[in-house]
Structure 1
Amino acid sequence: MSAVISSPIFSVMISLIAFEIGCFLYRKTNFPIFNPLLIAIIIVIVLLKVFNISVATYNKGGDLINFFLTPSTVILAVPLYKKLQLLKENAIPIMVGITVGSLSGMCCIVILCRIFLIPKNIDLSLIPKSVTTPIGMEVSKQIGGIPPITVAAIIITGIIGAVVGPVVFKILKIKDPIAKGIALGTSSHAIGTTKAIEMGEIEGAMSSLAIGVAGLLTVILAPIVSNVFSFL
């Protein structure tokens, strides 16, 4: 039994099965809180605790999944390609929206961390919370953050964005599909994009674009933001 548990395939299988359970619950209930990723995380944590499996053992398979994170995001370019003409017609407002969203998100994190006296290495870890995991981890290392905290923040941010985003759109009466897509992609990366794709083809395309642009902007702006606020 121990040989099976220590196998990388075991970790991959329980991750995939947990995610499929999450997808099943979400399809049956259509309730935002039953986000497949959130359910999968809870199931995996419970299994690790029940069977006393260490994180290091789980990561033997987790690293295999992590390896495919970056190439898997390429598929998100497909809906964008289908709406390329729409992008050309609205290029300036789209780029301005993503830039403002990315910068304001990073600045708000640092300001709130200063207000609540959060240690500096923690706030540095939270700055790249709104980009995909591979980019966020590298940015976190670059600016002196703690990558595991960054990963946790990225996951939480994505889930909250996917759950709360549609509610915010209804409250603020935001109906424009481009605005919805840009907002979800900029603030909650790939997880938000999955929700955007559910909402519509335009929302999915714009959210896919926002992921890439926001990631690039974060790589450029995160060191600047961290250096500027280091004097506060």
Structure 2
Amino acid sequence: MKKCVTLLLAAVLAVGSAFSSQAGSAFKKEVPLTLHMDINNRQTPIYDGYTSYIMGNRASEKDTFTVTKNSDTLNLDDVTLSYYLVTYDGGTEKNLECRVYGLKEGEHYPVVRPETFSRESEKGDVYDSLERCYVVEFSKDDERKEYYFTMAPETDMAAYRNIHLGKWEKDVKGWRYQYQGEYLTSWAKINDKWYLFGMDGYMLTGWQDSMGALYYLNPSDGVMMTNCTIDGRRLDGSGAYRE
């Protein structure tokens, strides 16, 4: 991260009640980029603290994401990443926790800042999904794009990472998996089996380098292999080969 400036900004607003279902908070102009969770999980409605429920993700303190740009004209150096903590116990407060100026494709960013997680954990509030949510916002000039998260302990995340209700699709390029209107990217556990998808949404096979380790995805069906030896390399129970 090029630069991270910690700020604190509180704005209290009265909250009405309404319900909407959409993937993220919509602005008139959105930054043309996409956030990719490094490990996918089932989406869930999250109250934005103001008027709507937004489709977002559960995440733990260990979850990270990458970004890709959707337009060749976008320079990620010009994009600002802002971390917000939104609480709505009574009035709504939207606290700006940190800003990162300039992004990079391939870099793994935390869903929630470690400093925020540590502070909120000491208060015992970090997992209070009924009173708070966490927001990642990308901005450039008058363009904005937001993603919403609710926190859960890493020990509980296995229950949310097993995806069932999507569908496989095949074309001339290969296999993709569509879930809630979007094609999965990165790691995904589908019906108890792990798969790895490229940023274009297509299933990967063979040896793949991911987040500092080598993994082997069965060429016949894409399933990650574990507890076996392939090409003289021993894969552990997590599927990783580490020299």
Q: Which TM-score bucket, shorter chain as reference?
A: under 0.3
Higher strand share: 2
Q: Which one has the bigger helix percentage?
A: 1
Provide the TM-score with structure 1 as the length reference.
0.26
